[in-house]
């Protein structure tokens, strides 16, 4: 059985840099065997092994992609170096892989990543009202990361009847320790890991009926009028042609955000409702449709989120420099932050599971 001695490229480069600085390693050779000496510069760290062993390791790497498996790649280990080399030669024209999902009336459970000695990461989607668990662990320990929704997690020791109840949402984690029975019941749709979203409570709104767009545009006009009155702004009431012009521009902005265009629905154009709300606020404020554009655009975006059942609450400090609403709309107008960053702030402000839309 043949053997190979491999020198990782990073180790070679480090040795070359050291040699340029007068910090090289030296050795001699007796045939092909390295011995003590000073005749040659050498890299002291190489990996020697049978060719069959390298082949087996490379085949494991190749299969691990489709199996959603992560190897134990400790720092400076040969496995990590071989893995890095393997990745350099992979065909990235086909980067996707299929996840196997187990589904039933309660939702689904999908293995996302696995390791040889440290467990796995799974994506657990629970339908509203579903109960999962009702089992106990002899040696397994779990940590649940809630990405969306709210659910009570009940833990109890097997020999006891009292339950430790905790309400978890996307701002918290709940750890299920060894020796506890676990039961989870969802109040809303619950996801246990970050993954690409399909149509669910955060999906963008789609308003393809003309009557719906007209009603929403009329609501924007009423909202603007109310805000001007509350804010005691001195502005000329829009009448006649000006009113028709403002209404037409509002309808145009709303159609861009909420309607299917050239076969692409809002679900195809926006990541979620927060991305959509940011888009409509940006176009409404930058089109300069009204006096008081910024406040109308901000309140309308928040109203859309409230209507969609995804209310957002940010810090409403009386000091403008500390007020998140003020900073959000100012950054939108000035393009100080990207739309993606502004949409992410709305996601972080989502009031999960409160059931109280009056917070907005």
Instruction: Give the tens place of pLDDT for each residue, 236-257.
Output: 444 456 677 788 888 888 998 9
**No. of helices (H) and no. of strands (E), the chain:** 10, 14
- Secondary structure (3-state) at 300: helix
Q: Where are the beta strands (DSSP E) in 116-259?
A: 120-126, 131-136, 142-145, 151-157, 164-168, 173-176, 180-185, 190-191
Per-residue pLDDT band at 43 (split at 50, 70, 90): confident
Tell me the HSE value of 333 on the side-chain side, using a 13 A CA sphere.
Answer: 16
Find the range with the poorest average confidence among 81-95, 104-118, 231-245, 248-262.
231-245
Q: Where are the beta strands (DSSP E) in 96-209?
A: 101-104, 107-114, 120-126, 131-136, 142-145, 151-157, 164-168, 173-176, 180-185, 190-191
Tell me the CA distances in angstroms from 109 to 124, 160, 306, 345, 347, one per residue in order.
Answer: 5, 28, 30, 29, 24
**% of the chain beyond a pLDDT of 90:** 10
Q: Are 149 and 169 in contact (CB under 8 A)?
A: yes
Going by C-alpha positions, the residue among 204, 200, 202, 203 that lies closest to residue 125 is: 200
Q: Are 99 and 143 in contact (CB under 8 A)?
A: no
Strand-pair partners of 124: 109
Q: Which residue has the tokens 């190979």?
A: 4
Q: Are 281 and 243 in contact (CB under 8 A)?
A: no
Residue 305 exposed, middle or buried by CB count within 10 Å (0-12, 13-18, 19+): buried
pTM above threshold 0.75: no
Residue 273 exposed, middle or buried by CB count within 10 Å (0-12, 13-18, 19+): buried
For residue 176, is pLDDT > 90?
no
- Secondary structure (3-state) at 288: coil
184 contact partners, CB below 8 Å, separation of at least 6: 126, 131, 132, 133, 144, 151, 152, 153, 154, 190
| Tokens found for residue 226 | 């109310």
Going by C-alpha positions, the residue among 123, 82, 84 that lies closest to residue 100 is: 123
List pLDDT tens digits, range 113-153. Answer: 777 666 778 888 888 777 777 666 655 667 777 777 776 77
Going by C-alpha positions, the residue among 108, 189, 188, 192 that lies closest to residue 147 is: 192
């Amino acid at each position: 059985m043949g053997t190979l001695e491999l020198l990782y490229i990073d180790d070679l480069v480090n040795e070359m840099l050291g040699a340029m600085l007068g910090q090289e390693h030296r050795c001699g050779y007796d045939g092909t065997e390295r011995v003590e000496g000073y005749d040659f510069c050498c890299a002291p760290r190489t990996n020697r092994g049978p060719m069959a062993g390298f082949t087996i390791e490379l085949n494991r790497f190749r299969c691990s992609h489709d199996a959603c498996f992560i190897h134990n790649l400790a720092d400076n280990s040969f496995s990590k170096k071989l893995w890095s080399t393997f990745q350099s030669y992979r065909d990235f024209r086909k980067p996707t892989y299929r996840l196997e999902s187990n589904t039933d009336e309660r939702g689904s459970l999908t293995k996302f990543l696995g390791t040889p000695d440290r467990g796995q990461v799974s994506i657990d989607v629970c339908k509203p009202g579903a109960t999962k668990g009702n089992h106990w662990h002899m040696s397994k320990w779990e940590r649940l990361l809630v990405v969306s929704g709210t659910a009570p997690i009940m833990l109890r020791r097997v020999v006891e009847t009292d339950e430790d109840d905790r309400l978890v949402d996307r701002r918290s984690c709940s750890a299920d320790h060894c020796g506890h029975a676990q039961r989870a019941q969802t109040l809303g749709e619950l996801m246990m890991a970050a993954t690409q979203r399909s149509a669910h409570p955060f999906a963008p709104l789609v308003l393809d009926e003309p009557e719906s767009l007209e009603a929403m545009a009329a609501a924007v006009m009423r909202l603007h009028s109310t805000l001007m009155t509350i804010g005691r702004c001195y502005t000329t009431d829009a009448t006649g042609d000006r009113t028709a012009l403002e209404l037409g521009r509002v309808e145009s902005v709303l159609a861009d955000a909420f309607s299917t265009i050239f076969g692409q629905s809002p679900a195809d154009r926006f990541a979620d409702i927060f991305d959509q709300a940011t888009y409509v606020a940006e176009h409404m404020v930058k089109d300069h449709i009204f006096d008081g554009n910024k406040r109308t655009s901000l309140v309308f975006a928040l109203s859309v989120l409230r209507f969609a059942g995804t209310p957002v609450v940010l810090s409403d400090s009386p000091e403008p420099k500390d007020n998140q609403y003020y900073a959000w709309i100012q950054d939108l107008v000035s393009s100080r932050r990207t739309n993606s960053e502004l949409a992410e702030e709305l996601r972080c402000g989502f009031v999960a599971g409160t059931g109280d839309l009056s917070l907005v």
